[in-house]
């Protein structure tokens, strides 16, 4: 990948990461208090586990892209993160820090091939797409948990039964 191509992809993919984060925050915030242990099947993650997986993975991806190496293992959920609101606040802070690190990367580092544990070897900037797809996948799982937990499903890419689509004024 050429450096100009890497900068182009950064300018396309990073705004997508940022806009998807807004939707992710709505889904995490929709987890009903005290219902985080819900799981639809014994093999499924609980809502809390899935929410933590989503909010911790995005900063982890960004840190790996910026560092040129993906960290081994999960550092674990900090004990003080007990509620969906706590997770959203942690996510906002850590995602913003990771985004700033990626924005500051020189073009040659964005274009540099980065190994994902020997499974994938892509230019660093392309992992922004992987980050988005990973989060959208798990966010979809979590959104399917919300109504059975007694919560209201927020709009994601259009209205939901709980938050119908509203046509913008003047559209």
Separation CA 57–CA 150 (nearest Å): 26
pLDDT tens profile 8-23:
999 999 999 999 999 9
Residue 116: per-residue pLDDT: 92
Q: What percent of the chain has pLDDT over 70?
A: 100
Residue 169: per-residue pLDDT: 85
Average pLDDT, the chain: 95
Better pLDDT: 19 or 167 = 19
Residue 7: per-residue pLDDT: 97
Residue with tokens 């990073």: 14
Residue 170: per-residue pLDDT: 83
* Residues in CB range of 78: below 8 A, 6 or more apart: 90
CA 47 to chain centroid: 15
111 close to 1: Cβ distance less than 8 angstroms:
yes
153 close to 23: Cβ distance less than 8 angstroms:
no
Sorting pLDDT into bands at 50, 70 and 90, what band is 166? confident
Q: What is the pTM of this model?
A: 0.92
Residue 122: per-residue pLDDT: 96
pLDDT tens profile 71-99:
887 778 999 999 999 999 999 999 999 99
Exposed / middle / buried, residue 105 (Cβ in 10 Å: 0-12, 13-18, 19+): buried
Residue 44: per-residue pLDDT: 97
Token reading at 150: 């007694």
**Cα-flanking dihedrals φ and ψ of residue 161, to 5°?**
-60, -25
pLDDT tens profile 35-74:
999 999 999 999 999 999 999 999 999 999 999 999 887 7
> Which of 60-93 are b and which e, b meaning 16 or more Cβ less than 10 Å from the residue's Cβ?
bbbbbbbeeeeeeeeeebeeebeebeebbebbee
Residue 134: per-residue pLDDT: 96
């Amino acid at each position: 990948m050429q450096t100009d191509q890497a900068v182009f992809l950064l300018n396309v993919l990073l705004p997508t990461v940022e806009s998807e984060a807004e939707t992710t925050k709505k889904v995490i915030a929709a987890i009903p208090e005290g219902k985080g242990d819900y799981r639809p099947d014994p093999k499924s993650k609980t809502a809390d586990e899935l929410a933590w997986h989503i909010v911790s993975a995005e900063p982890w991806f960004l840190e790996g892209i910026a560092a040129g190496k993906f960290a081994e293992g999960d550092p674990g959920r900090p004990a003080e993160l007990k509620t969906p609101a706590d997770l959203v606040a942690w996510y906002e802070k850590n995602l913003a820090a990771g985004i700033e690190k990626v924005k500051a990367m020189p073009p040659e580092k964005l274009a540099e091939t980065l190994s994902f544990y020997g499974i994938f070897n892509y230019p660093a900037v392309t992992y922004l797409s992987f980050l988005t797809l990973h989060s959208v996948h798990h966010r979809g799982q979590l959104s399917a948990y919300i109504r059975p937990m007694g919560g209201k499903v927020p709009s994601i890419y259009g209205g939901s039964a709980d938050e119908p689509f509203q046509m913008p004024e003047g559209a």
